[in-house]
């Protein structure tokens, strides 16, 4: 009789353990899927982001910089969909020549009226992998001088100790996009400005 009771208790214990494991699986399973569906959040810090611009003319090449104001992007690796915004401080633009910079801000960028330049990513093409070097395309909307323009970026990514090193290069046809052409009768400048970005994101 004792033997039967002991067997019964063992069976009940096993059933109870299986039940607990089943309940745990129900609780943990959806959470893991939820974490995957939440995707990847990428944050850019102004202190670890360098934005360089280059503008050529008939005499020499002008180089300068802008400063990042903020940047936060959400990526769903399953669909490639992206949301968020990267904001550049237009007023931070400089070339090392105060007279030229004053003209750039007053006549070309009109920084007092348009203090930011933004990029809103919408979609990523390519298999995003946090464990290896890769190159992928990002489609989005580039806002300059208050106007939206579609833009595609080719982004190079290098994982580095829990962060991502990213680089990209693209040209902005600023005259075509409605900004004033700074060329004069004597000095002719390019109608496109080249942008290079190096950033460390988390």
Domain shared by 2 and 73, yes or no: no
Same domain assignment for residues 49 and 148: yes
DSSP state of 105: I
46 lies in the same domain as 27: no
**114 and 146 inside one domain:** yes
Say what the pTM is: 0.79
Residue 55 and residue 102 share a domain: yes
Please provide the distance, in angstroms rounded to a whole number, between the alpha carbons at the two ends of the chain: 65
CATH number where 102 lies:
2.40.128.110
CB within 8 A of 80, min separation 6: which ones? 123, 124, 125, 126, 128
32 and 44 inside one domain: no
What is the domain extent for residue 19?
Answer: 1-37
Considering its fold, how many domains does the chain have in total? 2
Cα separation of 147 and 170, whole Å? 18
CB-based contacts of 165-173 (< 8 A; 24+ apart in sequence): 165/198, 165/199, 165/200, 166/197, 166/198, 166/199, 166/200, 166/201, 167/196, 167/197, 167/198, 167/199, 168/196, 168/197, 169/194, 169/195, 169/196, 169/197, 170/194, 170/195, 171/195, 172/142, 172/144
Is the same domain home to 51 and 26? no
- 138 and 58, same domain (yes or no): yes
141 and 109 both lie in a single domain = yes
* Rg (the chain; Cα; Å): 27
85 and 121 together in one domain: yes
176 backbone φψ class: left, alpha, beta (φ>0; ψ -120 to 50) = alpha
Q: What is the pLDDT along the chain (202 residues), one digit of tens a residue?
A: 544 444 344 344 433 433 333 333 333 333 333 334 578 899 999 999 999 999 987 678 999 999 999 999 999 989 999 999 999 999 999 999 999 999 999 999 999 999 999 999 999 998 877 788 999 999 999 999 999 999 999 999 999 888 899 999 999 999 999 999 988 756 788 999 999 999 999 8
On whether both 150 and 59 belong to a single domain, the answer is yes
Q: Which two tokens stand for residue 129?
A: 């992998």
Residues 96 and 24 in one domain: no
Burial, 172: exposed, middle or buried (Cβ in 10 Å; 0-12, 13-18, 19+)?
buried
């Amino acid at each position: 009789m004792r033997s039967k009771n002991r067997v019964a208790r063992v069976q009940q214990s096993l059933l109870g353990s299986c039940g607990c494991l089943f309940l745990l699986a129900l609780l943990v399973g959806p959470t893991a899927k939820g974490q995957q569906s939440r995707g990847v959040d990428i944050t850019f810090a102004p202190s670890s982001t360098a934005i360089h611009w280059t503008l050529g003319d008939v005499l020499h090449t002008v180089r300068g910089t802008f400063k990042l104001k903020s940047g936060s992007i959400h990526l769903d690796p399953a669909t490639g969909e992206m949301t968020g915004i990267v904001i550049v401080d237009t007023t931070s633009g400089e070339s090392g020549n105060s007279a030229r910079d004053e003209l750039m801000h007053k006549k070309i960028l009109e920084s007092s009226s348009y203090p930011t330049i933004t990029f809103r990513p919408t979609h990523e093409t390519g298999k995003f992998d946090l464990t290896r070097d890769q190159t992928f395309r990002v489609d989005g909307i580039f806002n300059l001088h208050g106007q939206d323009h579609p833009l595609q970026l080719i982004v190079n990514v290098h994982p580095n100790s829990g962060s991502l090193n990213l680089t990209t290069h693209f040209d902005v046809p600023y005259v075509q996009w409605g900004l004033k052409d700074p060329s004069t009768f004597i000095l002719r400048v390019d109608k496109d400005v080249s942008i290079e970005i190096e950033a460390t994101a988390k």
